Amino acid sequence: MSWWRRGVIYQVYPRSFQDGDGDGVGDLAGLRRRLPYLAELGIDAVWLSPVFPSPMADFGYDVADYCGIDPLFGDLDQFDALAAEARALGLKLVMDFVPNHTSERHPWFLESLASRENPRRDWYVWRDPAPGGGPPNNWLSSFGGPAWTYHPASGQYYLHSYLREQPDLNWRNPRVRAAMYDVLRFWMRRGVDGFRVDVLWRLIKDAQFRDDPVNPAWTPERPQEERLLPLFSADQAEVHDVVAELRQVVDEFPDRVLIGEIYLPLERLVTYYGRDLAGAHLPFNFLLLETAWRADAVAALVEAYEAALPDGGWPNWVLSNHDRVRVSGRAGERQARVAAMLLTTLRGTPTLYYGDELGLGRVPVPAEAVQDPWGKNEPAFGRDPSRTPMQWDVSINAGFSMAEPWLPLSADWRTRNIMTAGDDPGSLLNLYRRLLALRRERPALHAGGWAPLAVAGEVFAFERRAGAERLVVALNFGAEPQRLHRPDLAGARVLLSTAGRDEGATLAEPDLRLAPDEGVILEPVG
């Protein structure tokens, strides 16, 4: 069974994990220092958000050199040392790959700017103004405003799906594809075990550059980009040819994984597994980020996702990431424990976001400290509150840095940190440790099948089964006690509880009585 099927992925936002050189920003040396913690936690792979050379207009997602390391984070020697240390600890290393756009300072774009006749002009998406003047069409940037910027010297507009400093590459150009595939090979030769591909669904745009239709459901409380439905600016049929080619390159090296960032409805998401599963190994499933935190809603999502998967498609689950509000900020701190059990017991590969094991929520960031360009354009959607520094101990700046951190810590960092949580047997951190250990130990959890059992009130229950091993997971999504009547659970042994229930105890009756905000894993008899 491939490591990425049975394993757990842990996302590190490098700027915020550990500062190794005292400048207030996390780096590779700091991450390397903390690898033993990650190995002890029980994860299997570390996914790094971008560390390439960059002007940092979008904190590394504006890449100026795909085959280097930004000095802010270190250098290639330090990367190699990190990779070697990870291997020694039994950890895989997954890198972010940002193929949709480069930095405006990338040498390719500087050449593209030079003239309409430059050989790299069509490495990017250039268009003449609309017949009456202005942008070629109505496409919008994800960070607010038009997706087109005018270049007076050449009289054309270039496309940028994000910041104007992030011009979109032209993935219809075979020379662009070849160059980017060589980037993947460069990093796999250095021992990288796979890639998370940024905004995979946006790589190909409509060949006719037609206007996106108006979204009739948009309201002012939603981001500006949602005023239009991205019918033509994203998720084009031809993108699946690109995904298949990316997979072919990754498959040139043994036991690598291709993960795709894809924010699409379920029926579109699953198409990125590709024909005959020759697409992404794991099209990221972000649907829990957008689902109401109720037993019935989560159960319906899980069932719909399982039903929609192509034959042989391996599921995956995400509760938080660097772009969205953390699960503790959405569901509340008590339900974060239930969420931890859900994430680690559903069928498929879980991805854990750094700091979720501490219950970090939406950390307030004062207006004067805002760093995120989207947050500066549309403050309600700023991502800084989900990117604040990891909190390690009670020393200065929570052990993250001797210098002032680039973003503020949570106000309770003196009590919410890895050292303090590690000493508390009932902490969320230690719950994650036990869950991950149990997941690794039990085939039913890391490799078994899944089947729904019940949705009753605020309880969602399901089973995991591998051969003769059968486990039952029951989760109370409510703040009141719940009862689940299941005669087959009489005599079941409690393997793990989020609420301090005696582990190893057996149920004396056919009614499972769950405490408020409690999740349990049971092993039925027989």
Torsion sign across C-alpha atoms 48, 8, 450, 433: negative
Provide the residue type at 373 as one letter.
Answer: P
- Paired sense of beta strands 45-48 and 92-97, if any: parallel
CB 440 within 8 A of CB 446: yes
- Paired sense of beta strands 126-127 and 156-159, if any: antiparallel
- Paired sense of beta strands 316-318 and 349-353, if any: parallel
CA neighbours closer than 13 Å in the CB half-sphere of residue 141: 23
Cα separation of 357 and 511, whole Å? 31
Question: Which phi and psi angles does 218 have, rounded to 5°?
Answer: -70, 140
Contacts of 307 (CB under 8 A, 6+ apart): none
> Shortest CA distance to 258 belongs to which of 270, 271, 273?
273
**Strand ranges, E, within 216-293:** 257-260, 282-283
CB 55 within 8 A of CB 110: no
> Shortest CA distance to 80 belongs to which of 198, 61, 88, 251?
88
CA neighbours closer than 13 Å in the CB half-sphere of residue 164: 9
> Shortest CA distance to 76 belongs to which of 195, 228, 190?
190
Contacts of 45 (CB under 8 A, 6+ apart): 3, 4, 7, 8, 9, 10, 91, 92, 93, 94, 193, 194
> Shortest CA distance to 203 belongs to which of 175, 237, 178, 253?
237
CB 362 within 8 A of CB 324: no
Residues with active-site annotation: 198, 252
- Paired sense of beta strands 45-48 and 9-12, if any: parallel
Angle of CA points 42, 290, 95, to nearest 5°: 45
Contacts of 318 (CB under 8 A, 6+ apart): 284, 285, 286, 288, 289, 350, 351, 353
CB 235 within 8 A of CB 201: yes
**Cα torsion for 498, 504, 505, 509, to the nearest 10°?**
90
